Amino acid sequence: MRRKTYGGIFFRLIFLLLLVGMVAVLYAGRGPLLRFAGESWVVDEPATQSDALIVLGDDNYAADRAFHAADLYRAGVAPVVVASGRMLRRNVSLADIMAHDLESFGVPDAAIVKLGSRALNTREEAMEAARLVERRKWKRVVIVTSNYHARRARFIYSRVLPSSVSCRVSGARDSEFDVAHWWQTRQGQKLFMTELVGYLVAKWELRSAPPPENGVSFAIPGLLD
């Protein structure tokens, strides 16, 4: 009986040591693993000639999305920039603030279309944008959003936009989300985890929506440097 008891304790000790060793290895290598997760998550597709740039609302304090959209506009990607954003008051929306940012970055007022809405999430915002795209009869659009949000936006717009519309998603670098060190800040952790959960929720909410057909073009995502 004693030999069996000692043998059982010995094997438990070996298992515990192996488990501690694995945890130690994972902890030591957490940096490269988490960096790979961040780099794999962000999306930035090549922006081609389009009818319009649609800049998603809830831009950050630095207006990184608007700045990126202005760069694309100056590069001649599209002649129109849609400033999207939810209503803050009856007569004021985030679209108004974004339009102001776009102008300050060099986009003329005549090239800006404001899309104020009461959308509470990206899916509802996409539905509003889809109505605008249909009214304007646009055939090619580029969705501009933050890099960490681009994957979810790409999935949602692929399900919501008309099948005749070719769409790409351009991810703007975000000053609040460092791809290489996102886990080292509370804001980075919050953004990554919120997007991960939001993506799963979008998958569930749009589970019955048809997948993108040949008419909806989404390029293979490239990782941001």
Which residues make Cβ contacts (< 8 Å) with residue 204, sequence separation at least 6? none
What top-level class would CATH report for the domain 43-176? alpha beta
Distances 189 to 155, 167, 171, 199, 205 between C-alpha atoms, Å: 22, 29, 18, 15, 24
Reported as a single tens digit per residue, the pLDDT across 103-136 is 999 999 999 999 999 999 999 999 999 999 999 9
Which pLDDT does position 212 carry in this prediction?
55
Mean per-residue pLDDT, 184-200: 93
Instruction: For residues 53 and 68, give the distance between their C-alpha atoms in angstroms, rounded to a whole number.
Output: 10
Domain ranges of the chain: 43-176
Joined together, the tokens standing for residue 217 give: 């073009």
Which pLDDT does position 149 carry in this prediction?
96
The answer to whether 167 and 141 are in contact (CB under 8 A) is yes
Residue % of the chain over a pLDDT of 70: 79
